[in-house]
């Protein structure tokens, strides 16, 4: 190996990455984090304080599926991989393609059709390739607290559009690495807590080793293509792991 050339290439790669625009699409993780309605929000308890112990630390109680997180195959497939068995780079520096479904104004309980998915791809000007991460922007973060169309805090986790079975089949056939969304349960359609669709979790995605990333926010400001950088925690036997998700674009 030519060490000098390798070092030069690494320096050039680092410079290119640093010049990319970074979109942090991760919500804050804490007691007020919006959650999929059956799941409890995180709890933080002070463990040590500056005034008493001379340093500060906290104890956290966190459901695996809290905030921005990745669902491992084991979540719905008893023979699937847990998060500690996933490759460290499974979501690191992979191409993403963003499907902007916000113009369709999908309602709670309404699954996105294959035609809507294909229209979003044509509008975005991209082709989905094997190994990509498909990012679905329903525009649903607008209902989160502090946003333009904010609802009461629990509404978001009890209401969302999803993906039709044909849309799930489309992503599975493309052999994507993961499907991500700005909703709390990705392909699952939910209206006031009543669930329907959801064939990605149980059939087309997780049992085929296709990961699911949920609860992103701020996707509206992200261009249609770029790179995703996210690392699951190595939680032994876990069905999911919280993530810090960065989308890198020109």
What's the whole-number mean pLDDT along residues 141-150?
93
Cβ atoms of 27 and 68 within 8 Å: the answer is: yes
pLDDT for res 75: 98
Cβ atoms of 241 and 83 within 8 Å: the answer is: yes
Would the pLDDT of 50 be above 70? yes
Each residue of 68-90: pLDDT tens digit? Answer: 999 999 999 999 999 999 999 99
6-20, 94-108, 155-169: the lowest-pLDDT one:
6-20
Strand-pair partners of 155: none
Would the pLDDT of 111 be above 90? yes
Would the pLDDT of 106 be above 60? yes
Distance (Å, rounded) from C-alpha 93 to C-alpha 91?
7
Would the pLDDT of 66 be above 60? yes
Local structure of 141: helix, strand or coil: helix
Would the pLDDT of 230 be above 80? yes
Nearest to 155 by CA among 167, 140, 168, 170: 140
What's the whole-number mean pLDDT along residues 200-212?
98
Task: Quote the DSSP letter at residue 160.
Answer: B
CA triplet 144, 148, 153: central angle to 5 degrees?
25
Distance (Å, rounded) from C-alpha 29 to C-alpha 68?
8
User: pLDDT band at residue 15, thresholds of 50, 70 and 90?
Assistant: confident
Provide the H-helix boundaries in 33-161: 50-53, 114-124, 155-158
Answer whether 0.85 is exceeded by the pTM.
Answer: yes
Distance (Å, rounded) from C-alpha 158 to C-alpha 101?
19
User: pLDDT band at residue 16, thresholds of 50, 70 and 90?
Assistant: confident
Buried b (16+ CB within 10 A) or exposed e, 232-242: beeeeebbbbb
pLDDT for res 1: 45
Phi, psi torsion values for 124, nearest 5 degrees:
-75, -15
Q: Which helix (H) or strand (E) holds 217?
A: none
User: pLDDT band at residue 2, thresholds of 50, 70 and 90?
Assistant: low
What's the whole-number mean pLDDT along residues 187-204?
97
State the chain's maximal CA–CA distance in angstroms. 61
What's the whole-number mean pLDDT along residues 202-210?
98
Would the pLDDT of 189 be above 70? yes
């Amino acid at each position: 190996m030519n060490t000098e050339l390798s070092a030069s290439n690494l320096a050039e790669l680092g410079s290119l990455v640093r010049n990319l625009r970074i979109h942090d699409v991760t919500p804050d993780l804490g007691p007020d984090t919006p959650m999929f309605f059956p799941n409890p929000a995180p709890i933080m308890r002070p463990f040590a304080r500056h005034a008493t112990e001379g340093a500060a630390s906290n104890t956290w109680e966190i459901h695996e599926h809290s905030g921005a997180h990745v669902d491992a195959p084991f979540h719905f497939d008893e023979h699937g991989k847990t998060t500690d068995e996933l490759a460290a780079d499974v979501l690191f520096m992979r191409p993403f393609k963003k499907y902007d479904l916000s113009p369709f104004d999908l309602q709670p309980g309404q699954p996105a059709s294959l035609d809507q998915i294909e229209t979003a791809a044509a509008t975005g000007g991209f082709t989905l390739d094997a190994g990509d991460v498909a990012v679905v922007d329903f525009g649903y973060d607008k209902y989160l607290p502090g946003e333009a169309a904010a609802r009461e805090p629990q509404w978001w986790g009890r209401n969302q559009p999803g993906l039709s079975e044909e849309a799930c089949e489309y992503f599975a056939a493309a052999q994507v690495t993961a499907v991500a969304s700005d909703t709390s349960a990705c392909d699952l359609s939910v209206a006031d807590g009543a669930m329907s669709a959801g064939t990605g979790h149980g059939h087309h995605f997780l049992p085929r080793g296709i990961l699911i990333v949920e609860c992103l926010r701020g996707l509206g400001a992200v261009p249609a293509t770029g790179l995703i950088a996210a690392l699951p925690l190595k939680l032994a036997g876990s069905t999911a792991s919280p993530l810090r998700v960065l989308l890198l674009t020109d």
